[in-house]
Structure 1
Amino acid sequence: MKISFLIHTVYGIGGTIRTTLNLAGELANRHEVEIVSVFQHRDTAAFAIDPRITVVPLVDTRPDSPGNDLENPLFSQPSKAFPHAEARYKEYSQLVDERVRAHYADSDADIVVGTRPGLVAYVAQFAPPGAVRVGQEHMTHNHHKGALREEMYEHLDAIDAFVTVSEGDAAVWRDKLPLPTTRVLSIPNSVPEPAVAPSDGTGRTVVAAGRLSAEKQYHVLLDAFAKVAAVRPDWVLRIYGSGDQRERLRARIDELALYNQVHLMGAHSPIEPEWAKGAIAVSTSRHESFGMTLVEAMRCGVPMVSTDCDYGPREIIQDGVDGLLVPVGDVTAIAQGLLRLIDDEGLRRGMAKAAADNARRFDPGVVTKQYEALFAELVEDASRRETGPGIAPVADVVVAGDGEVTVTLATPLPEGLEQGATLVCTRTGVQSDVRTFEFDGGGAARIPAGEVFPEGQWNLFVEMATTKVRGRVTARVIDQRGAMHAAQRPAGGGPVHNLVPYEDKAKGSALMLRAWSRPVHAEADDVRLDGMRITLTGSLYGAATVSDAPSLLLRRRGKPAGELSFAGEKKGEHGFRFTFTPVEAVAAQLTAHDVWDLLVRYAPNSKPVKIGKVLDDVVMKKDIYSYPRIVRPKRRTGSLVRAMVKRALRKRPPQVRVRVYYTVSNDLALNVVDL
C-alpha cells in the first residue's frame, strides 16, 4: 500500500511529529510511505527521518529560500477549506488549500491520514476518490472548542476511520458525537526502544519533561518538590522543556529557595539520555491525551509518578506496579508519591524493571500492526463497496403535509430479488435501533405520519428478503415540502416530532433521514438584533404551557459551568418573547471562545428546554440562517494611566465578537469570541 501522512510541519519539534515519524518509519518496512508537510520553515528537520520516507513540503516559509511563498498573493488570503475554529486557522490560507488539493489530485495513495483537526478536514475534502481516509486525534474531545467540534462533524462523518490515542477519549467521541459510518477507535502512540542503556536507578535525580505550559502544572510540581526537599535535601529535580511559563517557574523556584535543587534544563533532543539519568520520573499534567513522556521514561527503565488525569496516564501506568497515580493538582499526594519511591529503593527498582517490561507494548512494531490491521480492513471494506456483490437502489422520496414519508424505488432491483424487499432504517451510532417498512407492488415504502423516530440521523437501506443483502439507498429526487408544515401538525399532547429526508453528498448522495423528537419543544420563530439588543420570539409545542413569566437561560458549555437568566413575557396562547443583551455573557467570558446554549424555562418549576428551529424542511440551519455579528470592546481593566498609554500608542482596545447561531442539532447558541 501507499500511505500518505498529512502533517502541519515535519520540520519542528513536538509529540505529533515524533509519533508520526515512528509510525511512518515502521510502515516503511513493508509499504510506500510519504509525509506531506504543509509548511517548511527550516532547511532540515529537527528529528531524524527514515530515508525510505518521501517528504513532500507544500508551502515554503523560509525567509531566505529561493522558493519562498510568503509573497504569493494567495498566502495572505484566508483559507476556505480549513475549519475557522481550529487553533491554527490564521496560519492557513488559500495557497495552502490549493497546494493540498493539487497534491492529492495527482496522488495514487491508498491511505491518507490527517494528523490534526484541520488536516482531517483537508483529508475529507481533498483525498483521492479511491483512497481510504483516516483522521487522527492527538488531543482529546474535551480539549477542543464546541465550535470546532461542530465544524468538524461533516468532515468526520465523511472519513472512514477516526483514531484517538486513548480508549477513554474514543468512548467520549462515540458518545458525544456519534458517527454513522466512521469507525471510531483508539490506537496508542508508539515509542521506540531507546538507544541508551536503561537507568541504573542509583542516582538521586527526579526528571520531568514537556512544554513549560500551564496545562503541565509545573508550579504544582515545584510546590510538591519543596516538601520533598525539606526532608530529602540530597535529591534534585530536573525539568526539561521550553515554553512561556519559564520565567514564572524561575521566579517560583527562587521564591521557594529551591535554586540548588531544581534546575530548568531547557529543551533536549533526543531526550532518552536525560531520562536515563533519573531514578524517578514525574508528570503533574492537568490533562494528557496520551502521555508520550510517560512511555519514554518507562522505556528507559524509570518509574513514573503521574497525576491520574484524562486520559492517557491511567491507560499507560499500572498503579503500584510500574508507577504511581496520584490526584490531579494534589501537592501533598505528589510529594508523598515521590517520597515513597525515594525512601524504598527495593520498590523503586522493582517498578523500574516493570516499567521497562510493560512499556514494550508501545513499541512501534506492536503499534504499527494495529494500524496495518485497520488499514487492511478499511481497504477491504472500500473494495467490497465498489466491486462486491450487492445492490445499489436509487429512490425518490416525498414528505406529505401530515408528515408521512414515501420512499419509491426509481430503478428496478435485480431480477429475482424484487420480491419481499424492505426499507431498513438504522440510527447513527445505535446499530440496534432499526425500523423496517415493506415495499408494495409499486416499489413504494411508506413511513406513517405517526411513526416517531428517536432524534438523530438515520441511514436508509433496501434489504432483500431472500439473501438479506442490503444496499444503501441513493437519492434521486427529494420532495421535502410537507416538512414545511411540521409546526402546524397537531401534537395531541405527545412528543413533538419531524422527519426530514435529505441527500448526504459526503456519502455518495446517500438518502438519509433527520429526525427530531422531543416531549416539549421551544421553536425559535424570530431573532432580531438592534445594536446590542437581541429579541427572541418563539412558540412552545408539546405537553406544556407557557406561564405568564417565562425565563431565558444562557448556559455555558464546559467547565466551570455558568448560567445567566433573563425575564421574558408570554405572547398569545403558546408563545414567548425575550429581549436581552449579551453584556453579561461577555463579562463572564472565561476562554477565547465561549459557547452559551439558549434554553427556556416556560414555567417556574419546569425543566428548561433548548430553543431551536426544527419544525420545517431545512436539515442544517447553521449555514442558512445567519444573523449579524455584534462586535464590542471587552471590559476595560487596569488603571487610567494604562488606558491613556494604550490610546497614545494607538492600540486598538481588545474586542470580542458575539454571534447568535444554530448548532448542528439546530438549537440556538450564543458565541463569544476574542478578536
Structure 2
Amino acid sequence: MKISFLIHTIYGIGGTIRSTLNLAEELVGRHEVEIVSVFRHRDVPLFPVDPRITLIGLVDTRPGSPDGSSDGSSDGSSDGSSDGSSDGSSDGSSDGSAEGEPGGGTAHREPSALMPRHENRYREYSALTDERIHAHYAASDADVVIATRPALVPCLARSAPQNAVLVGQENMSLGYHGPELVEELLPGLDVLDALVTVSEADAAAWRARLPQPDTRVVAVPNGVPEPTLAPAALRERTVVAAGRISREKQYDTLLVAFARVVAAHPDWRLRLYGWGPDRERVRRVVHRLGLHNSVELMGAVVPMEAEWVKGSIAVSTSRHESFGLTLVEAMRCGLPVISTDCDHGPRTIVTDGEDGLLVPVGDSGAVADALLRLIQDEPLRRRLGGAARTAARRFDPAGTAKAYEELFAELGAGPLHRTGPDAAAVSRTRPFAPVADCGTGDDGSVTVRIVTPAAAAMQYPGLRLVCTRADTGGGTDSGTGPAKGRTRTGGRKGAKGGSRPRGRTATAPDRTEHVFPFAPDGTAVVPPGAGLADGLWLCHTEDPRTGRRAELTARTVDQRGVLRAGERFTRDTAVRHLVPFRDPAGHRLTLRSWVRRLHVESGDITLDEHRFTLTGRIHGPVEPAGEPTLVLRRGGDPADEMVFHGTREGTRGFAVTFDGEAVAERREREDEQWELWLRYSPEQDPVAVGRLLDDVLRKSDVRGFPEVLLHKQRSLLLARRVLRRIRGQDQRLVVLKLAFDDGNRLVLHVRDR
C-alpha cells in the first residue's frame, strides 16, 4: 500500500511526532510511506527519519522562504499536542518572517475554512494551508490517508483520494477537548473509515459520542522501539522526568516531593526534560524551594533514550495522559517508573508494584514516599527496572504496525503485504552518508560505531574517522602526549589533488585534524590521551583510496561515561574532558574538548539572605596549601577585585562565603559583572571558577540560581522606602544573581532594578 500521514509538523518535538515516526518506520519496510507536514520551519527534522520515508512540507516558514510571512503566524515548531504528550511546544525558532507576500499571495492572511475554530492551533492555519493540503491530496494516489489529529480530518474531507481509506488518529483523548471543539469535530468525522485511539477507555468514550454508529473506533497503543544502546545501569543518583513544561504535567507536585527527597538524600538530582510555557515559572518554584543545586531544567533533547539511561528512576506527575509515551520509553531503557494513576494511559502501562509504582494524582506526599522507597531500596529498584524492560516489549512498533495493517486490509485498502523500498537498494542509490552510534567510556575515551551502511568498514577498506577542528576554543592548553592515530596540520589530498602535510601529534602547535582507523567491525576509538585541543571538533569519515570525506551523522550518543569525569583525574593529571554530542541542527556527530592545566570545578552553592557560600574542588598538577581565597574581579580586571577568605575541605576541596552587600556597595555602574576566581594557595595566580566536568555543554541553559534582592544604599533610605510604598511605587533594589557565562565560568551579575 501507499500510506500517507498528515501531521501538523514533523520538524518539531512532541509525542505525536515521535509516535508517527515510530509507526512509519515500521511500515516502510513493507509499504510506500510518506509524511506530509503542514508546516516546515527548519531544514532537518529534530528526530532522525528513515531515508526510505518521503517527507513533504506544504507551507515553508523557514527564514527567507517564499511562504515566509510577516503577520506573526506560527512556525509550527511543535506538533500541537496540548494534552502534555508533547515534549515541548517551542524551540525558540523564528517564525520564518520575510519581506513581501508569501508564495501563496494573500491566502496566508485569510482564515482557514476547514480547521475547527476552537482547535488550539486554529490561528496558525489559513486559506493557504487549506489550498496546499487540497492540492497535495487531490493529486495523491495513496491507498491510506491518516490524519494524526481529529482537527485535521475536515482538511482531508474534500481532498483525499476517492478510493483511499481515511483514518483519523486521536493522540490526546476525548475528555481533554473542550465541549465547543467536540461539537465542531463530531459532524466532520463521518468521512472516516476508522478512528484510532491510544487507549480502550478513550475508544469507548468516542464510540458513545460519535453520531455515526457505523464508524469503526479501535484502540491501538503507540509503539516504542527497542533502544539502540545498553539499558540503564541504575548507578547514578538521578531521577528523570520528561514532557511538555506546562500545568498539566504538575511539576509543582514533583518539586515539592523532591524537596523531601533532597532533605533525606542531598546527593540525589532531578532532571526535567522538555520545553513549554511554564518553564520559567517552574524555575521560580525550584528557587523558592531551595532546589537550585538539585534540579536541572535540561530543555528538549532528541532522542531521549540517551538521557533516560543516565537515570535510575523515571517519574511522571501528570494529571492527564492519553497514553504515556515517555513512561514506555523509560521502561524500555530499564528504569523503574513512578506515575500518577491518571486517565487514561499510565494504568494500562504500569503494573503497580511489579514494574513501577502508581500514586494518586496531585499527591506530593505519595510521590515523595514512592521516590524514597526506590532510592532507599536498591534491590527493589533493580527488580522493578528489569521487570519494566520486559513488560514494555509489548509496545514494540511491530505489534502496532501489524494492528494498523490488519485494520487497513479489513477496510479494503489493499494487500496486507507489499514490498516497500529496500534499505540496501536505497543505500546503493544514495551518496555515502554514514550514520553512527557513539559511546563514552569511564576512562574518557569515545567510541564511534558506524551503523549505516552496514559493514561500511568492509565496503571501504581503510576507512578512517577524521576529527576536524571547528574553532579555536577557549582554553589555555593545547595538550601534550601522543595520540593513537595520525594528526594533520594542514590541507589534505582530496579527490582533485592537493598537498597533505603531516605533523607530529606530540609537538605540532597548530593541529587541526586527528585521524583514527575504523576496525573491521566498524568501530573507531578516540582514546583519552588523543590530545584534541580545547574547542569543537567535527567528525567525518574518509575513504583513503579517494580522499573523499562524508559528514558523520549521529543516531544516538551515549554520554554516560562522562558523568563522573571528575573522579578519574589524579592530582598529577591535567583536565582533559571530551564530550560527544549530536548537533541538533544537522544531527552531525561533534566533540567538545575541554583542556585545562588547572581547573576549579564549582560545586553546590548555598544562599543565606545576602551571603553566598561556594564549594568546589581544584584539579590539576598542583599541591594546594594554606587558606583558599575567592577573588571577585569586576569585568575580569585583576586591578579591580575583592577578596574573601575560605576554608579547605580535604586536600583539594574548599568552601568560601562572600557577602553580597559588600559587593553591592562597590558598585560603580547600574549593571556590572564580577568574575569568580580561586587562589588555591598564597602567592599563586588565581584560577577561574567554572563547571565543566559533566555532560552539559552550556550550563547557563540548564542551571540557574535565585536572585538576591537588596535595597539600594541611599541617604534617608527608610524614609524613601516608606514614601515609595505610600505612593504605590516599586522599591529601588539591587539584584545579585550568580550565573554561568557562555564559557561555563561562574560570574556574579549586579544590577539595579
- The CA distance in 2 between the partners of 1:10 and 1:300, in whole Å, is 24
The answer to whether 1:102 aligns with 2:102 is no
Give the residue type in structure 2 aligned to 1:202.
R
Match of 1:273 among 284, 306, 310: 306
The equivalent residue for 2:604 is: none
Give the residue type in structure 2 aligned to 1:125.
R
- The CA distance in 1 between the partners of 2:288 and 2:186, in whole Å, is 47
Give the residue type in structure 2 aligned to 1:25.
E
- The CA distance in 2 between the partners of 1:245 and 1:80, in whole Å, is 32
Correspondence 1:523-602 to 2 at 5 A: none
Q: CA deviation at 1:68?
A: 4.3
Q: CA deviation at 1:211?
A: 1.2
Q: Structure 1 pair 336/83, CA: closer, same or farther in 2 (3 Å)?
A: same
The equivalent residue for 1:166 is: 199
The equivalent residue for 1:261 is: 294
The answer to whether 1:219 aligns with 2:256 is no
Give the residue type in structure 2 aligned to 1:36.
V
Q: Structure 1 pair 124/181, CA: closer, same or farther in 2 (3 Å)?
A: farther
The answer to whether 1:41 aligns with 2:51 is no
The equivalent residue for 1:343 is: 376
- The CA distance in 2 between the partners of 1:374 and 1:34, in whole Å, is 19
The answer to whether 1:131 aligns with 2:156 is no
Match of 2:243 among 205, 210, 215: 210
Does the aligned pair in 2 maintain the 1:275–1:297 contact within 8 Å? yes
Give the residue type in structure 2 aligned to 1:171.
A
Give the residue type in structure 1 aligned to 2:28.
A
The answer to whether 1:231 aligns with 2:231 is no
The equivalent residue for 1:473 is: none
- The CA distance in 2 between the partners of 1:382 and 1:53, in whole Å, is 20
Q: CA deviation at 1:103?
A: 1.1
The equivalent residue for 2:112 is: 79
Q: CA deviation at 1:380?
A: 6.2
The answer to whether 1:6 aligns with 2:6 is yes
Q: CA deviation at 1:67?
A: 5.7
- The CA distance in 1 between the partners of 2:37 and 2:206, in whole Å, is 27
The answer to whether 1:242 aligns with 2:275 is yes
Correspondence 1:14-413 to 2 at 5 A: 14-66=14-66, 68=68, 71=102, 72-379=105-412
Give the residue type in structure 1 aligned to 2:318.
S
Q: Structure 1 pair 137/236, CA: closer, same or farther in 2 (3 Å)?
A: same
The equivalent residue for 2:443 is: none
SS at match of 1:8: strand
- The CA distance in 2 between the partners of 1:223 and 1:189, in whole Å, is 31
Give the residue type in structure 2 aligned to 1:39.
F
Q: CA deviation at 1:125?
A: 3.0
Q: CA deviation at 1:85?
A: 1.4
Does the aligned pair in 1 maintain the 2:25–2:50 contact within 8 Å? yes
SS at match of 2:297: strand
SS at match of 2:176: coil
Q: CA deviation at 1:65?
A: 2.0
- The CA distance in 1 between the partners of 2:334 and 2:187, in whole Å, is 44
SS at match of 1:221: helix
Q: CA deviation at 1:25?
A: 0.9
| 5+ long unaligned stretches in structure 2 | 70-100, 417-726, 729-753
SS at match of 1:325: strand
Aligned length: 385
Q: TM-score, normalised by structure 1?
A: 0.55
Q: Structure 1 pair 382/174, CA: closer, same or farther in 2 (3 Å)?
A: farther
SS at match of 2:224: coil
Q: TM-score, normalised by structure 2?
A: 0.50
SS at match of 2:174: coil
Give the residue type in structure 1 aligned to 2:21.
L
Does the aligned pair in 2 maintain the 1:300–1:356 contact within 8 Å? yes
Q: CA deviation at 1:175?
A: 2.1
SS at match of 1:270: coil
Q: CA deviation at 1:124?
A: 2.9
SS at match of 1:153: helix
SS at match of 1:120: helix
- The CA distance in 1 between the partners of 2:40 and 2:260, in whole Å, is 45
- The CA distance in 1 between the partners of 2:158 and 2:374, in whole Å, is 51
Q: CA deviation at 1:306?
A: 0.3
Does the aligned pair in 2 maintain the 1:157–1:181 contact within 8 Å? no
Give the residue type in structure 1 aligned to 2:15.
G
Does the aligned pair in 2 maintain the 1:157–1:180 contact within 8 Å? no
Q: Structure 1 pair 59/381, CA: closer, same or farther in 2 (3 Å)?
A: closer
- The CA distance in 2 between the partners of 1:131 and 1:368, in whole Å, is 18
Residue by residue over 1:448-497, the C-alpha shift from the partner in whole angstroms, topping out at 9 and shown as x without a partner, is xxxxxxxxxxxxxxxxxxxxxxxxxxxxxxxxxxxxxxxxxxxxxxxxxx
RMSD of aligned alpha carbons: 1.9
- The CA distance in 1 between the partners of 2:165 and 2:117, in whole Å, is 25
Does the aligned pair in 2 maintain the 1:302–1:356 contact within 8 Å? yes
SS at match of 1:171: helix
The equivalent residue for 2:669 is: none
| 5+ long unaligned stretches in structure 1 | 384-640, 643-675
- The CA distance in 1 between the partners of 2:333 and 2:239, in whole Å, is 13
Q: Structure 1 pair 361/222, CA: closer, same or farther in 2 (3 Å)?
A: same
Does the aligned pair in 1 maintain the 2:143–2:414 contact within 8 Å? no
Q: CA deviation at 1:66?
A: 4.5
- The CA distance in 1 between the partners of 2:38 and 2:275, in whole Å, is 24
- The CA distance in 2 between the partners of 1:191 and 1:326, in whole Å, is 24
SS at match of 1:358: helix
Q: Structure 1 pair 237/155, CA: closer, same or farther in 2 (3 Å)?
A: same
Does the aligned pair in 1 maintain the 2:408–2:414 contact within 8 Å? no
Does the aligned pair in 2 maintain the 1:120–1:136 contact within 8 Å? no
Q: CA deviation at 1:160?
A: 0.5
Does the aligned pair in 1 maintain the 2:164–2:413 contact within 8 Å? no
The equivalent residue for 2:460 is: none
Give the residue type in structure 1 aligned to 2:247.
A
Q: Identify which of structures 1 and 2 has the higher relative contact order when contacts are C-alpha pairs closer than 8 Å and 6+ apart.
A: 2
